[in-house]
Chains A and B, each alone.
Chain A
Amino acid sequence: MKVTDQDIKTVASLSRLRIRPDESAEVTAQLDKFLTYVENLQAIDTSHIEPTTYALPMQNVFRADEVKPSLERTLALSNAPLSEDGYFKVPRVLEESA
């Protein structure tokens, strides 16, 4: 196995996902099978190859820096699960100080 339980825990935490104990074995096995398959890339010598992030040769696309109307606040908030006084509302982030 390439993938350990700890790897799954770490990646799940990075992904903000919770893997239930009863799912863990299957998730581990599937990721392991996948990573074994993609090992085939290691057979290619890429030491002198540049990476490609975008297929078309485009760089530094500029536009004039002008102020333009943006989405109205009410519209921007229209899909928010919870909002108040024109703001998005989230659960407490910081502990209350003692």
Chain B
Amino acid sequence: MELYTKTAHELHELLQTKQISSAELTADIFSRIDAVEDKIGAYITVTRDKAVVDAKAVDEKISRGETIQPLEGIPCAVKDNICTKGIKTTCASKILENFVPPYDATAYGKLAAQNPVLVGKANLDEFAMGGSTENSGFHVTRNPHNLDCVPGGSSGGSAAAVAACEAVFALGSDTGGSIRQPASFCGVVGLKPTYGRVSRYGLVAYASSLDQIGPITRDVTDCALVMNAIAGRDEMDSTSTAADVPDFTKSLVADVKGLRIGLPKEYFVKGIDADVEAAVRSAAKKFEQLGAQVTEISLPHTDYAISTYYLIAPAEAATNLERYDGVSYGARVDGADVVEMMTNTRTEKFGAEVKRRIMIGNYALSAGYYDAYYLKALKVRTLIQKDFVDAFKTVDLILAPTAPTAAFKIGEMVSDPLKMYLQDVCTVPLNLAGLPGISIPCGVTKNKLPIGFQLIGKALDEATILRAAYTYEQA
């Protein structure tokens, strides 16, 4: 039975009414993994034995007549930069190749409390640095819609696993677009929550003021269900917000009448693919037909977002990645003294893009350049954030492309890091401003590659994003 194509909420009904068992569903997902994983490469680690045991436990609960939670018994993937106690968490880096976390990330722990069935840890760009998953220290992941193309990144394994039906849903992380862009490239739903909405405790740090964990799912309903599982204040992360967490499924209402939606003219940039522009504008038209008011708006500092992001994120990364020193955990390459040991370890075990960002970050933070680069970027960040505050005085949501193009060819951009950075123009502003954003599929290009559009909301207003996304999806 092809259960693996179904959504979590459909499967939940089938499980609860005993039409299927979790063991059956899990076996079905593994048969799918056996059939396609060689081609896709979505996973770094597959946790088959644990999955079989966990599925059986859920089935026993159901057979005792107990009510199960919405994600209970549903097979899922978790990005391999999210710590899972006792299960290898590599961050797709040689430096953490054998790292087995002694604790769970809070977001994973909260999800695990619903007893989903973890099927594996998903591939990513090393330390989540990249937009194509080509920077993984282990292998590339291929786009299920076209194996010659990238799945996007850095949560490329998570998005490809969901799109290729190797998992029903997944957790990803988003520092500059790493949930939304791969969701767009793979034709699935991906939500970056408001900064602070989901605890970062146990998420391997890349850029701490920007990182956020979120769901990658088949539809908006599943997205709300995963958000219900993972959101909330955590004492272990002082930047997690104490704001009330709504029941996100309450937002699954098909109604956008009177909703004010802004189209930022700066996001329809020079170089945007014509098919992408047409699909996103047609999504905006559809919202109009559904009763929303769509107007053009301006976010005047958008042009500066790439520079701002690529100074701030590497500066934070250079600092965060100081911990990989060959001492307390991770790989060690011996040297004559402690400095040589650290230098050998880092030189041999970090990949090229990680080293590049560490170098950029330390350059921007170093004496003589701090004011001109890092501090300047922090000030422009204020202006980028203010653009959104001003825009949200007249609109409730902002609609934009998720990325300027659909998935590109594997290898097409690797020789030009700056060109790859420029791909992030539509996603990084939200991270800088801390705002939530969702990517929703809206058609395909002439080459049959998925296109996504992005809905951007006010801080802590995932509810309006989900309502609009649901309305679009159901129409």
Chain A residues with Cβ below 8 Å from B377 are: 38, 41
Q: Given the complex of chains A and B, what is the CA–CA distance between A12 and B435 in angstroms?
A: 34
Hey, what's the 0/1 contact readout for B338-362 against A, CB within 8 Å counting as 1? 1111111011001000011011101
Task: Give the contacts of B400-442 with A (CB-CB under 8 A).
Answer: 417-418, 432-435
Knowing A17-B343, A55-B433, A82-B332, the reply to whether A91 touches B337 (Cβ < 8 A) is yes
CB distance from A64 to the nearest CB of B (A): 10
Confirm or deny: B67 has a beta carbon within 8 angstroms of a beta carbon on chain A: no
Q: Given the complex of chains A and B, what is the CA–CA distance between A75 and B356 in angstroms?
A: 33
Hey, what's the 0/1 contact readout for B313-351 against A, CB within 8 Å counting as 1? 000001000000111111110111111111110110010
Confirm or deny: B225 has a beta carbon within 8 angstroms of a beta carbon on chain A: no
Confirm or deny: B295 has a beta carbon within 8 angstroms of a beta carbon on chain A: no
Q: Given the complex of chains A and B, what is the CA–CA distance between A76 and B340 in angstroms?
A: 24
How many B residues have CB within 8 A of the partner chain? 71
Task: Give the contacts of A29-70 with B (CB-CB under 8 A).
Answer: 30-31, 33-35, 37-38, 40-42, 44, 46, 49-56, 58, 61, 63
Chain A residues with Cβ below 8 Å from B341 are: 90-91
Chain A binding surface, main DSSP class: loop
Task: Give the contacts of A14-30 with B (CB-CB under 8 A).
Answer: 14-18, 27, 30
Chain A residues with Cβ below 8 Å from B334 are: 91
Determine if B359 and A15 form an interchain contact, defined as CB atoms under 8 angstroms apart. yes
Chain B binding surface, main DSSP class: helix
Determine if B196 and A58 form an interchain contact, defined as CB atoms under 8 angstroms apart. yes
Determine if B209 and A49 form an interchain contact, defined as CB atoms under 8 angstroms apart. no
CB distance from B318 to the nearest CB of A (A): 7
* Interface 9-mer from B22-30, B119-127, B234-242: B234-242
Which one of B195, B327, B363 lies within 8 Å of A90 (CB-CB)? B327
Determine if A41 and B366 form an interchain contact, defined as CB atoms under 8 angstroms apart. no
Knowing A49-B379, A51-B375, A52-B381, the reply to whether A37 touches B307 (Cβ < 8 A) is yes
- A residues engaging B (CB < 8 A)? 7-8, 10-12, 14-18, 27, 30-31, 33-35, 37-38, 40-42, 44, 46, 49-56, 58, 61, 63, 71, 75-76, 78-82, 88, 90-93
Besides A15-B359, A17-B355, A56-B239, 12 other CB < 8 A contacts? Answer: A15-B318, A17-B358, A30-B417, A41-B377, A44-B383, A49-B380, A52-B432, A76-B102, A76-B328, A80-B329, A91-B335, A93-B338
26 sampled A-B residue pairs with Cβ under 8 A: A11-B359, A11-B362, A15-B355, A17-B350, A17-B359, A18-B344, A30-B417, A31-B356, A31-B359, A35-B363, A40-B304, A44-B301, A50-B382, A51-B375, A52-B381, A52-B432, A53-B378, A55-B195, A56-B194, A56-B434, A56-B459, A58-B238, A58-B239, A63-B235, A75-B102, A76-B328
- B residues engaging A (CB < 8 A)? 98-100, 102-103, 194-196, 209, 235, 238-239, 241, 301, 303-304, 306-308, 310-311, 318, 325-332, 334-344, 346-347, 350, 355-356, 358-360, 362-363, 366, 372-373, 375-383, 385, 417-418, 432-435, 459
